[in-house]
Amino acid sequence: MSTTISRQKFLRYTASAGAAVLLSSLESWAVATPQKKLRVAVIGCGSVSNRYIPHLQTSPMIEIVSLCDIKYDRAVNQNNQYNVNARTYPDIDAMLRGVPFDMMITLTDMQVHGELNKKALMAGKHVWSEKPMANTYAEGKALFDLAKSKKLRIWGAPAVVNSPQFEFMSKTIQEGKLGRVSSAHGQYGHTGPNWSAFFYEKLGGSMPDLGVYNIATLTGLLGPARSVTAMLSIVNPERTVDDKGKIKVEAEDNAHILMMHDKNVISHVMCGFCYFDPHGHEATNQTLHSIQIYGDYGNMRLIGYDWETNGVMLDTSWTEPPKLVSTDKGGYVWQEGATRVGESVLKGTEPRINTEHALHVLEVIEAARKSQQTGMRIKLKSKFPWPIV
Ligand SMILES: NC(=O)c1ccc[n+]([C@@H]2O[C@H](COP(=O)([O-])OP(=O)(O)OC[C@H]3O[C@@H](n4cnc5c(N)ncnc54)[C@H](O)[C@@H]3O)[C@@H](O)[C@H]2O)c1
């Protein structure tokens, strides 16, 4: 998954090439940092931290040194529950003044990711952020530029490009096995989280929480979107959630997003918090497909979700039935992003997950909101290195 050169090879290479070698920020960070483990701080010790903390603990290259939550008992509880042996903090400022660390992992309410990520970068920390990495494309791009100016790195979830199924689908398209690709569809929904209000508050919604996976997959497979048209709606205007009781829903719980890519390829994403799915929020053992790609010589469907992949159904024959292929997950799990980029930071290698791709996905989400407000088709300006595989 990691590309470029290993830390050892890199050290040998730079020693021979001398000062003429232009170091990338990761490579130079790895060279300047002799420690054997990357020290990480997790901010936000709610639901998703139950997936991140154990996964981070599987890596011999990573040590969780700090846990932080404004609901302080959550930081303490996670420290005890997972035997982390970290320092615990009730807010980011205290954490940044506390024990030193190298990378912050942001797992808080979506709306505060941007401000927390900025504070971490300003304090000289790398950042892995759950989606979205900021509330707007402009805010995210400013974080990316800030990181570059400080020779730091920031990445945003999701990690869907890491799955072997994404790789298989991308290669199948790139090798022309589907012929000329014209259309694609992605869908992801369930009946919505019931633990926190932020999912339904302004700048929350089903797009940054759920659609973000399909938008990352479809732009990852088909290339950057050039324009977006969308319809968003609120189907359930009131919800009852654990942290605030009865609330008014302010962000879309139903979204249909159309993207125009290069070469007149059109894709569509449908996501919502009001979709019956007996596989629920966990979505395990899903046997139906969630992504479809159509060309004039073949089509393929991703079985399961792009974040919880179960194989690819490939159909390229007029006579043979479609075949289920690429069923090996190769160890991929959706919560691996922070672990993988953290390992890359330590090794000085470039991970497949790309920040400009996450920013592009954020611009698509923002454009979809604008399209809903204005009834207009919205042009996009961002790009990312493509093809990814
Ligand atoms: N829950 C999941 O299964 C899941 C899966 C994938 C991604 N995510 C993403 O993870 C993020 C968190 O979701 P969640 O379900 O864990 O939410 P959650 O409400 O369970 O947890 C969020 C935690 O962040 C804390 N927090 C809020 N503001 C804070 C601040 N300023 N400083 C420190 N702590 C703060 C809250 O007190 C809370 O404990 C979201 O971006 C969500 O989209 C969640």
**Terminal CA-CA length for the chain:** 10
- Per-residue pLDDT, averaged over 39-52, amounts to 98
Question: Is the confidence at residue 283, as pLDDT, over 90?
Answer: no
Q: What is the pTM of this model?
A: 0.93
Give the DSSP letter of residue 197: G
Q: Mutation test of ligand 1: which of 51, 106, 107 has the most ligand atoms closer than 8 Å to its C-beta? A: 107
Query: Which has the higher per-residue pLDDT, 36 or 212?
Result: 212
**pLDDT at residue 380 in the model:** 98
Query: Which has the higher per-residue pLDDT, 37 or 20?
Result: 37
What is the set of domains in the chain, with CATH numbers?
Answer: 35-156 (3.40.50.720), 160-333+353-379 (3.30.360.10)
Question: Among residues 31, 116, 22, which one has the least CA distance to residue 69?
Answer: 116
252, two tokens? 């879309």
Q: How far is CA 86 from CA 78, 245, 339, in A?
A: 10, 32, 17
pLDDT tens-place string over residues 309-354: 999 999 999 999 999 999 999 999 999 999 999 999 999 999 999 9
**pLDDT at residue 262 in the model:** 98
Q: How far does the centroid of ligand 1 lie from the alpha carbon of residue 196, in Å?
A: 8
**pLDDT at residue 354 in the model:** 98
Which protein residue has the closest C-alpha to ligand 1 atom 8? 48
**pLDDT confidence bin for 34, thresholds 50/70/90:** low
Edge-first strand listing for the sheet containing 181-189: 323-325, 308-315, 299-305, 289-295, 181-189, 266-272, 254-261, 225-233, 378-379
Q: How far does the centroid of ligand 1 lie from the alpha carbon of residue 107, in Å?
A: 5
The residues facing 236 across adjacent strands are none
Q: Collapsing DSSP states into helix, strand and coil, what is residue 15?
A: helix
- Per-residue pLDDT, averaged over 193-201, amounts to 98
Q: Residues enclosing ligand 1, CB less than 6 A?
A: 43-48, 68-71, 74, 92, 107-110, 112, 116, 130-131, 195-196, 209
Q: How far does the centroid of ligand 1 lie from the alpha carbon of residue 114, in Å?
A: 13
**pLDDT confidence bin for 287, thresholds 50/70/90:** confident
**pLDDT confidence bin for 24, thresholds 50/70/90:** low
Cα separation, 237 vs 278, in Å, equals: 23
Rounded to the nearest integer, the mean pLDDT of the chain is: 93
**pLDDT confidence bin for 53, thresholds 50/70/90:** very high
Atom of ligand 1 nearest to the CA of 44: 24
49, two tokens? 């931290």
Q: How far does the centroid of ligand 1 lie from the alpha carbon of residue 70, in Å?
A: 11
**pLDDT at residue 286 in the model:** 84
Atom of ligand 1 nearest to the CA of 74: 39
Cα separation, 204 vs 271, in Å, equals: 13
